[in-house]
Structure 1
Amino acid sequence: MAGQLKTLWQILVYLLPVVPVTIELTLFSFGLAILVGIFVGIARISHHPIIEKSSKIYVDVLRGVPLLVQIFFIYFGLGKVLNLSSFVAGVLAIGIGYSAYLAETVRAGIQSIPKGQYEAALSLGMSRTQMMRYVILPQSLRLVMPPMANDFIACLKDTSLVSVIGMRELTRAGREFYSQYFVDFQTWLVVGLLYLAMTLGLSRLVAWLERKFKVHGLGERGA
């Protein structure tokens, strides 16, 4: 028993230094996903057919191609041309991949705002750009904050995929430890527990966001 605990402790000590790398990768990737997702989400409801159809194709393609394939495409394609590191390639691939899902979330949030909000903004003399920037988008982002937080948790878990391109994050470090010491079950047990600890912490954050950002009257039928 003591030997097992010592092994688990050795694995934990080996893996803990790469936990911040996993968190950093998640933050950069999801930050990019939010920025791109907002613009694509707005484009999805554009009155210009070319913009609307182009954004729909963007979303459909990225949601239809596995994220692992997108990582390979970015790293071995764009990454070789621009000499991108595995970290940058991972951020781009995960960020762009998740932007397609966030775009649909943002679109749904915008469309859930009552038409009276649009009419009131236009009656005040706002342009459509001003209306979207100052009235519609702030309310819709407040509405979609909880589902976006759930996507953030999924993004954290999907960072494990970049281990296939040599990015040394939590999963890659677990594989390294196993290859050196041939300790399989305990290694992946600790890896899983570390991911679980991070996701449980984020789940608590999601629950808090759901309480804080719940907006009564918006997105409800008859509002």
Structure 2
Amino acid sequence: MPSFLKKLKIADYVIAAILVAFFGYVALTVEGKLNYEWRWELIPNYILRYREDQDVWFANLLLQGLFNTIRISIYASVLALILGTILGIARTAENLTVRMLARTYLELLRNIPPVVIVFIFFFFLSQQLIDWLNLDRWARGIARSDNVHIWEFFFGEMRRFPSLIAGVIVLALFESAFVGEIVRAGIQSIPQGQREAARSIGMSRLQEMRYIVLPQAMKKVVPPMANQFITLIKDSSIISLISVQELTYKTVELVASTRLIFEAWLTTAAFYFVICFTLSMLFRRLERQR
């Protein structure tokens, strides 16, 4: 018997039985009262599909959306970490103007609904940046090139590249506000005595932050940063509102074309759960090894 099963008690089995009964009741209610016909056998075909004319398997709608969600989450996390670190340092700057500008940005983003922020950033910033850089023309050129497969591995379908970049920018700008507060808290947790000691030996503020404060602060903020990364994955569903081809957007497409309402959304929920739960377990293990 697996070791984790030995740790379970009677109450755990009771709770598990209640959950199974609850979900069974919901399924029967949907099928009976709503006269809904479950068609789970169709879902695998929208994850992986076999193309007989080419004798290959290819990723269908849901798997395409999942890959894009992973790409967007990774790129947005890196950008949010960079921007958030800058904001966190700015929040602790000696210059009052710098502190107030950083605080204004953070407070605005933390107190406005995410949907509103997404639309504002998309129409007034990311879309303008994409047009200014002429990314549409560049992406179409890449899509016609011989090495398009390498680009598609990192960015998905290149004709959709501008929308992916827009999603990354919007998500990173939104999440950077929360990362900035985490970094600010980490910096302020460093004892003042260490900072005074650094200045007493002639270190500049830049050297103090680089060699003394930030290395210690970043170690302290690893747990909340990990949690924020998981939150970012879930928040990535918001950018489906600006037609970014991620998992939620692809699910909407699937539901609209097949009417597999419950099957599609339950499958999508399972995908999000598996990703977030796996990362949660991974980060928890890494914290124990620190």
Q: What is the Cα deviation at residue 212 of structure 1?
A: 3.6
1:188 to 265, 268, 281: 265
- 1:43 and 1:94 map into 2 onto residues whose CA distance is 21
What amino acid is the match of 1:10?
A: N
Does the Cα contact within 8 Å between 2:126 and 2:169 map onto a contact in 1? no
1:66 counterpart = 2:101: no
Q: What is the Cα deviation at residue 79 of structure 1?
A: 4.0
Does the Cα contact within 8 Å between 1:62 and 1:97 map onto a contact in 2? yes
Match of 1:12 in 2: 47
Q: TM-score normalised to the size of structure 2? A: 0.69
State which drifts further: 182-191 or 76-85.
Answer: 76-85
Match of 1:94 in 2: 171
RMSD of Structure 2 on Structure 1 (CA): 1.6
Alignment of 1:70-219 (within 5 A): 70-82=117-129, 83=131, 85-213=162-290
Q: What is the Cα deviation at residue 5 of structure 1?
A: 4.2
State which drifts further: 203-212 or 175-184.
Answer: 203-212
Task: Kindly indicate whether structure 1 or structure 2 has the higher relative contact order, using CA contacts under 8 Å at least 6 residues apart.
Answer: 1
- 1:9 and 1:79 map into 2 onto residues whose CA distance is 35
Larger Rg: 1 or 2? 2
- 1:212 and 1:130 map into 2 onto residues whose CA distance is 29
1:40 to 80, 87, 101: 87
1:103-140, Cα deviation, whole Å (9 max, x unpaired): 11111111111223213322332111101011110110
Q: Which runs of 5+ in 2 are unaligned?
A: 1-37, 49-59, 136-161
- 1:171 and 1:90 map into 2 onto residues whose CA distance is 13
In structure 2, do the counterparts of structure 1 residues 80 and 151 end up closer, same or farther at CA, with 3 Å as the change threshold?
closer
Q: What is the Cα deviation at residue 53 of structure 1?
A: 1.1
Does the Cα contact within 8 Å between 1:109 and 1:143 map onto a contact in 2? yes
Match of 2:69 in 1: 22
- 2:127 and 2:178 map into 1 onto residues whose CA distance is 27
Does the Cα contact within 8 Å between 2:65 and 2:248 map onto a contact in 1? no
- 2:261 and 2:69 map into 1 onto residues whose CA distance is 21
In structure 2, do the counterparts of structure 1 residues 55 and 121 end up closer, same or farther at CA, with 3 Å as the change threshold?
same
- 2:204 and 2:109 map into 1 onto residues whose CA distance is 32
Overall identity of the aligned pairs, in %:
38
In structure 2, do the counterparts of structure 1 residues 42 and 79 end up closer, same or farther at CA, with 3 Å as the change threshold?
closer
1:154-198, Cα deviation, whole Å (9 max, x unpaired): 000111111111111111111111111111000001000000010
